[in-house]
Homo-oligomer: A and B are copies of this chain.
Amino acid sequence: MKVAVKIRLKKSILDPQGKAVHHALQNLGFDGINDVRVGKLIELEVPDDGTPETIHNMVEEASRKLLANTVIEDFEIEYLGEKA
């Protein structure tokens, strides 16, 4: 099963990478964009043998311990079903 972890900077945290992308887009003529935030998309392939709870707990613990820096980032777990 494929599980995606979306990692975003918390709203209160400045995003200089997003600001740089925003400026670059404006320089290319894309004026109709108000804001840009850059985050991470981490996709895990986990075995299907396991209850949804065990999988969720494992992915949440992995996100908290390693994937996201919870001081400055929020994460969201999304289940993408069968492997593509």
Q: Which residues of B contact A50 (CB under 8 A)?
A: 32
The reply on A14 being an interface residue by CB < 8 A is no
Q: State the copy count for this chain.
A: 2
Q: Which A1-36 residues have a C-beta within 8 angstroms of B?
A: 6-8, 18, 21, 24-25, 28, 30, 32-36
**Interface pairs (15), CB distance under 8 Å:** A6-B41, A7-B41, A8-B41, A8-B43, A18-B42, A21-B42, A25-B66, A28-B66, A32-B47, A32-B50, A32-B58, A33-B46, A33-B62, A34-B47, A38-B40
Interface set of A (CB-CB < 8 Å, partner B): 6-8, 18, 21, 24-25, 28, 30, 32-47, 50, 58, 61-62, 65-67
